[in-house]
A and B are shown apart, each in its own frame.
Chain A
Amino acid sequence: MQVPDFILRQPATLQEAITAAQEASRPPDGSHAPSAPEQGYDWLGGGTDLLCNYKWRINQRPVVIALRGVAELQSDVAGSLAAGRTLWQLENDAEIQRRYPALASTAALVASPLIRRSATLGGNLHLDTRCWHFNQTAEWRAAHRSCLKAEADQCRVLPDPGDVCVAAYCGDLAPVLIAYGAVARLHGPDGERRVPLAEYFAGDGIRRFAERRRAELMVAVEMPADAEDWRVNYRKLRLRQTFDFPEGGVAVGLQWESGNPGVIAAARIATTAYASVPLLHPEVVELLQGQLLDQDLADRAGALLESLVQPMKNTSMSPSYRRKMARVLCRRALLDCSPHSSS
């Protein structure tokens, strides 16, 4: 499969990258009107998501801007992780293993070791949403007249109303970073802005970000100063223990009452693969807060989570199984946080 033609830009600095994106999103007449899809650009991290989609002729753009050479995306500054770091680096970095163990162990659950050599943190957080009807060849999509996120005018999974995309967000790192309270650092033509990851994602399978600004990219993920005080755990449901995307993923972050380990002072619960964006579950947080973490509480939290998630019929496993597993994943993730657990 040939990757369809594009022009590759290889900026060396953040400013050059932003300028390349501005040039690519400007229509040929030089005006500043928003660009149509046949114009425009995509950022390229490791390419392990984007190039697969391009090979299947999905939403390709004429310009691709490679971030590999952008110095500002390659090295961490104090308290933050550069967006260009590979998942392989994250899982093998002794400092990350010590300070954010759930981040290192989750990075090691993504895809396969070979994919993780190229896959980047920024690419993982911006991973495109996935669906049976979307991740298919152009010929398959043409034969099935799907899907809304590619070239058709109606969603095949949820034909009524049909104008909402229900493709699933299947990134593994987002829920874990949300459980740590991480903040996205973005850079664009108007300078820098910081957005908590918990507020970064919103919308459906097509419009996936709360606010997307033109020529803006993610430079780093900031870890809050208290991140190390949180006990974070992630459980992933998948068919095989390698390669496969999550069919469901639950991240749990807990802080103990001071002097009372096991009594939950604060909690964060985030899921992946159950909707078009990573979801937060304040209802479960409310149930947990102020309680002693034990088997009964973990069971009740799992049951509540099961009642909240609404997976669609658009991945390999059935929605009912994925929903049931939300209960199991949540319970296990919680119990693994317990002060008596070895993990």
Chain B
Amino acid sequence: MSTSRRILRLRVNGQPREVLARDADTLLDVLREQLGLTGSKRGCDLGTCGCCTVQIDGEPQLACLTLAAEVGEREVTTVEALRDGEEFAPLQQAWAAAGASQCGFCTPGFLMTTDWLLREKPDCNREQMREALAGNLCRCTGYVKILDAVERCTRSQGACPSEK
């Protein structure tokens, strides 16, 4: 069959972006291949790892299972938008300080889910963190250091991103 394409007008990281995409392209295809935003990783491409997590209207979503043409006018935020100018965001600094990244492949996805979690539940406990992060897999760290990093950013620890 012939390829069906369309021009998409997306809003990505606060900027209007125009791309020509196949109807069947996922948001991850468009972010990585067309917009050069390679922070969102292609891990499994099947919903089983969470490496591709971005935020759509502030909510974490899997870019590998979202059709780009279905995003419409909603705001897409990728890990590239977390940092504040030249500075890493407190969340990213916490990740480094806690040693929550080894190979780093899962990190963008974890950061995007955690950023949402800390906005929703700035005082979350470890059980709530585990629950919220149950869609993100890490093959390296064993998760303890990831939870340590999130904990450093809770309100009681003073580094909550929502208060930055």
Contacts and interface: CB of A to CB of B under 8 A. Distances in A.
Nearest to B4: A7
Contacts of A44: 67
A44 B1 CA distance: 20
A130 to B, nearest CB: 13
Given A5-B3, A52-B46, A62-B1, A114 B29 contact: no
Q: How large is the interface on A (under 10, 10 to 19, 20 to 34, 35 or more residues)?
A: 20 to 34
B109 to A, nearest CB: 8
B113 interface: yes
B4 A115 contact: no
Interface in B5-27: 22-26
Interface residues of B, number: 32
Contact of A114 (B1, B22, B62): B62
Contacts of A64: 23-24
Nearest to B22: A5
B50 A2 contact: no
Interface string A45-68: 011100110110000001010101
Interface string A12-46: 00000000000000000000000000000000101
Nearest to B5: A5
A113 B135 contact: yes
Interface string B132-143: 101111000000
Given A2-B24, A3-B26, A117-B60, A46 B65 contact: yes
B119 to A, nearest CB: 15
A52 B47 contact: yes
A51 B70 contact: no
Contacts of B113: 114
B62 A115 contact: yes
A111 interface: yes
A200 to B, nearest CB: 26
A52 B4 contact: no
Contacts of A7: 1, 4, 23
Contacts of B148: none
Contact of A48 (B47, B131, B132, B134): B47
Interface string B57-69: 0011110011101
Contacts of B60: 114, 117
B53 interface: yes
B129 to A, nearest CB: 12
Contacts of A51: 26, 65, 67
A209 B121 CA distance: 42
Contacts of A243: 48, 134-135, 137
Contacts of A241: 134
Nearest to A9: B23
B69 A10 contact: yes
A118 B65 contact: yes
Contact of B62 (A10, A118, A242): A118
A114 B46 contact: no
Contacts of B66: 47, 118
Contact of B65 (A5, A6, A47, A66): A47
A143 interface: no
B24 A112 contact: no
B45 interface: yes
B67 A66 contact: yes
A6 B4 contact: yes
A4 B113 CA distance: 29
A114 B61 contact: yes
A5 B134 contact: no
Nearest to A117: B61
Given A46-B65, A66-B67, A55 B131 contact: no
A4 B45 CA distance: 14
Given A52-B65, A111-B135, A243-B48, 4 more contacts: A5-B1, A6-B1, A54-B24, A117-B59
16 contacts: A1-B45, A3-B24, A5-B22, A5-B24, A6-B4, A8-B4, A10-B69, A46-B65, A54-B24, A55-B46, A68-B70, A111-B47, A112-B47, A114-B50, A114-B113, A115-B47
8 nearest A-B pairs in the assembled complex, by CB-CB distance:
A114-B135, A112-B135, A8-B23, A242-B134, A3-B24, A7-B4, A113-B135, A1-B45
